[in-house]
C-alpha cells in the first residue's frame, strides 16, 4: 500500500466535511455528499468509507478493482456484501462503540415519547388547545423493561432504565452473567421476556438468526398493551406482524428509528424495479408511519454532534492504521 492511497468518502454532509478534512490532512481524500452508487464510483478507489445508507453490493465492490479496504462509518455492517469482501479478501473496519449512550438516549426518547403521549400533547397545544384530557400516560417506575441484546447499546439502556427504577429482564444469544450481576438484571428466554415486559426494546445486530426476530407467531406472545421499541435494524421486526399488532391493540404502540427496507420509503422511483416483497414492505411501512400509536424517526438515533465526531475519529484511525500496515476494528463474522 502506498503512503498516499486513493481514499474516497461518500455520504459526507457538508457540515461534517470541514472536520473530516482536518483529520485527514495530508491524505487528500475525495469527499462526496452523495451516497455511493454504480453511477458515481471512481474505479481507482483503494480505500472506501461509507455510511449505512450507501449499500455496498457485490456489483459495486467488484467494480472497484483496486479496492483494498472498506471503512464503514457505523457499528452495523448489514449494508455491505460480506460474502464478496471475504471472497476478494478486502477487510471491512467499523466503528464498534461510537454511540452506545447516543443510541440509548434516543431509545429513552422514544420510550418517553410514547409513554407520556408527547407528540399528541405537543400537537394539541400548538393547535391552540391547552387541555390535558385524553393525554394520560403511564409511569416507567416499577414497570418491566425487556432488553433484547445486551451488548454496548442494550447495556447502556439498562443503566438508564435502572435510573427510572424499572425492573429489567433481558434476552441475548450470548448472555453476559457478569454484566447481569453488575447492572442487576436477569436473563430469560425470548418468549418469557415478551410475556413479562411492559416495554420491549431491540438491540441486536441484523443477522440471519435475528431477521424477523419479532414475527407473526411470537408477536402474539407479547403482553397485551406493551410498547415495542426498535433502534437497531428494521428487519428485526416483521412489518406485517407489527401492523397486525397495532391494528388489534396487541401492543399499545411502537417507537421505531429503523424500518425494514427503509431506503425505499422516500425513493419512489426505485420501487419500480424492486421485488413484490419490497413493495409490500413499503406499503406496510407507510401504514406503520401513519398509525396514531407509533413514533417513527428516520434512522436518526446515531445522529448527535458528539457521536459524529467519534465516528469520524475512529474511521480516520481505522484508515491511518491500515495504511501503516495494521488493520484495526475489523468486523468479525457473527457466531450465530
Ligand atoms: P453489540 O454487538 O455490542 O451488541 C449486540 C448484542 O446482540 C450482543 O450482546 C450479542 O450477543 C447479541 N446478539 C447477537 N445475535 C443475537 C441473537 N441471535 N439473539 C439475541 N441476541 C443476539 O452491538 P451494539 O453496539 O449494542 O449495537 C446493536 C445494534 O444497534 C447494531 O448492530 C446496529 O444494527 C444498531 N445501531 C443502530 C443505530 C441507529 O442509528 N439506529 C446506531 C448504532 C447501532
Best residue among 73, 189, 191, 232 to mutate for probing ligand 1, ranked by most atoms within 8 Å of CB: 232
Residues with CB under 6 A from ligand 1: 75-76, 99, 103, 149-154, 172-174, 203-207, 209-210, 231-233, 257-258, 299, 301-302, 336
Grid coordinates of 94: 467499523
Kindly give the distance from the C-alpha atom of residue 188 to the centroid of ligand 1, in angstroms, as a whole number.
18
Output the pLDDT for position 98. Answer: 86
Best residue among 11, 51, 151, 201 to mutate for probing ligand 1, ranked by most atoms within 8 Å of CB: 151
CB 28 within 8 A of CB 3: no
Output the pLDDT for position 136. Answer: 97
Ligand 1 nearest atom to the CA of residue 97, by list position: 25
φ/ψ (deg, to 5) at 84 = -70, -45
Dist. CA 204–CA 214, nearest whole Å: 12
Best residue among 155, 200, 205, 299 to mutate for probing ligand 1, ranked by most atoms within 8 Å of CB: 205
Grid coordinates of 170: 433481558
Output the pLDDT for position 99. Answer: 77
Kindly give the distance from the C-alpha atom of residue 22 to the centroid of ligand 1, in angstroms, as a whole number.
31
Output the pLDDT for position 334. Answer: 56
Output the pLDDT for position 335. Answer: 47
Dist. CA 285–CA 244, nearest whole Å: 12
Please, which residues have CB within 8 angstroms of residue 286's CB and are 6 or more apart in sequence?
265
Work out the end-to-end distance of the chain between its first and last CA atoms, rounded to an integer number of angstroms: 34
Kindly give the distance from the C-alpha atom of residue 203 to the centroid of ligand 1, in angstroms, as a whole number.
5
Kindly give the distance from the C-alpha atom of residue 232 to the centroid of ligand 1, in angstroms, as a whole number.
6
Output the pLDDT for position 261. Answer: 94
Residues of the chain with pLDDT under 70: 1, 3, 333-336
What residues are annotated to the active site? 233, 262, 299
Ligand 1 nearest atom to the CA of residue 171, by list position: 20
> What is the Cα 238 distance to its own chain's centre?
16
CB count, 10 Å around CB of 34? 11
Ligand 1 nearest atom to the CA of residue 302, by list position: 40
CB count, 10 Å around CB of 57? 16
- The alpha-carbon radius of gyration of the chain (Å, integer) is 21
| DSSP 8-state assignment for residue 97 | T
Helix axes 100-115, 118-126, angle to 10 degrees: 60
pTM: 0.90
Output the pLDDT for position 218. Answer: 98
Dist. CA 244–CA 256, nearest whole Å: 16
CB 46 within 8 A of CB 68: yes
Ligand 1 nearest atom to the CA of residue 150, by list position: 9
Kindly give the distance from the C-alpha atom of residue 1 to the centroid of ligand 1, in angstroms, as a whole number.
33
CB 104 within 8 A of CB 126: no
Reference 257, options 10, 52, 3, 31; nearest CA is 52
pLDDT tens for each residue of 98-140: 879 999 999 999 999 999 999 999 999 999 999 999 999 999 9
Output the pLDDT for position 1. Answer: 67
Amino acid at each position: 500500500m502506498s503512503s498516499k492511497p486513493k481514499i474516497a468518502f461518500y455520504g459526507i454532509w457538508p457540515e461534517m466535511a470541514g472536520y473530516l478534512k482536518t483529520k485527514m490532512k495530508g491524505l487528500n481524500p475525495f469527499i462526496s455528499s452523495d451516497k455511493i452508487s454504480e453511477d458515481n464510483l471512481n474505479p481507482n478507489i483503494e480505500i472506501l468509507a461509507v455510511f449505512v445508507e450507501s449499500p455496498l453490493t457485490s456489483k459495486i465492490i467488484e467494480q472497484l478493482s483496486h479496492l483494498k479496504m472498506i471503512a464503514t462509518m457505523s457499528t452495523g455492517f448489514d449494508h455491505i456484501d460480506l460474502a464478496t469482501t471475504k471472497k476478494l479478501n478486502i477487510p471491512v473496519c467499523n466503528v464498534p462503540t461510537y454511540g452506545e449512550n447516543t443510541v440509548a438516549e434516543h431509545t429513552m426518547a422514544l420510550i418517553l415519547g410514547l409513554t407520556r403521549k408527547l407528540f399528541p400533547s405537543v400537537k394539541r397545544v400548538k393547535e391552540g388547545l391547552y387541555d390535558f384530557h385524553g393525554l394520560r400516560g403511564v409511569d416507567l417506575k416499577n414497570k418491566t423493561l425487556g432488553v433484547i441484546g445486551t451488548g454496548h447499546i442494550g447495556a447502556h439502556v439498562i443503566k438508564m432504565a435502572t435510573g427510572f427504577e424499572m425492573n429489567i429482564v433481558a434476552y441475548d444469544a450470548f448472555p453476559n452473567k457478569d454484566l447481569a450481576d453488575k447492572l442487576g438484571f436477569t436473563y430469560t428466554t425470548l418468549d418469557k421476556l415478551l410475556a413479562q415486559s411492559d416495554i420491549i426494546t431491540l438491540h441486536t445486530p441484523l443477522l440471519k438468526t435475528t431477521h424477523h426476530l419479532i414475527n407473526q407467531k411470537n408477536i402474539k406472545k407479547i403482553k397485551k398493551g406493551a410498547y415495542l421499541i426498535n433502534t437497531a435494524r428494521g428487519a428485526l421486526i416483521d412489518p406485517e406482524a407489527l401492523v397486525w399488532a397495532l391494528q388489534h391493540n396487541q401492543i399499545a404502540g411502537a417507537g421505531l428509528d429503523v424500518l425494514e427496507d427503509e431506503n425505499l420509503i422516500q425513493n419512489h422511483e426505485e420501487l419500480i424495479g424492486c421485488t413484490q416483497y419490497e413493495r409490500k414492505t413499503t406499503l406496510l411501512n407507510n401504514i406503520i408511519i401513519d398509525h396514531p400509536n407509533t413514533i417513527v424517526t428516520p434512522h436518526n438515533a446515531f445522529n448527535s454532534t458528539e457521536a459524529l465526531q467519534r465516528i469520524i475519529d475512529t474511521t480516520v484511525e481505522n484508515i491511518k492504521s491500515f495504511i501503516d500496515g495494521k488493520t484495526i476494528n475489523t468486523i468479525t463474522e457473527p457466531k450465530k
